[in-house]
């Protein structure tokens, strides 16, 4: 069965290295917390707020050995109430885990998006 694992992280500034590093940190945490095996990843969707355009966050997956995994990047709408400088990831995985067993990851200021899911 395909399940979605959500994650979000913020960065301090619109900087290529910082965006890639944050995306990798989030991806690593999502994979580790959910014990994801690379071959079980169906696709990964990356989004970023409009104030982040210095890097393509999806490129971070290539540096983690996920070169065969389909990735897609998009920009979020300019929401005046949204969390600024925020990257989001939706990882679609083949798993036997139930919805309640999936661990969604929210880091840094992104914990405000889903405080009920953030640890």
Domains and their CATH numbers in the chain: 2-112 (3.30.1330.40)
Lookup: tokens for 106: 């929210």
Residue 52 neighbours by CB distance under 10 Å: 23
CB distance 107 to 26 below 8 Å: yes
Distance between CA 114 and CA 7 in Å, rounded? 10
Phi then psi for 100, rounded to 5 degrees? -70, -20
Determine whether 32 is exposed, middle or buried from the number of CB atoms within 10 Å of its CB (0-12, 13-18, 19+): exposed
Asked whether the CA dihedral 21, 31, 84, 115 is positive or negative, the reply is negative
Task: Spell out the per-residue pLDDT of the chain, length 119, in tens.
Answer: 999 999 999 999 999 999 999 999 999 999 999 999 999 999 999 999 999 999 999 999 988 999 999 999 999 999 999 999 999 999 999 999 999 999 999 999 999 998 887 65
Q: For the whole model, what pTM was predicted? A: 0.94
């Amino acid at each position: 069965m395909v399940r979605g694992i959500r994650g979000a992280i913020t960065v301090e500034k619109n900087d290529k290295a910082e965006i890639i590093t944050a995306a990798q940190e989030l991806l690593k945490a999502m994979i580790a917390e959910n014990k994801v095996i690379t071959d079980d990843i169906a696709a990964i969707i990356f989004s970023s707020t409009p104030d982040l355009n210095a890097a393509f966050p999806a490129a971070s997956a290539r540096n983690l050995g996920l070169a065969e995994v389909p990735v897609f990047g998009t920009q979020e709408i300019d929401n005046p109430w949204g969390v600024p400088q925020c990257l989001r990831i939706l990882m679609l995985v083949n798993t036997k885990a139930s919805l309640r067993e999936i661990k969604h990851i929210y880091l840094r200021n992104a914990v405000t998006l889903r405080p009920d899911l953030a640890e």
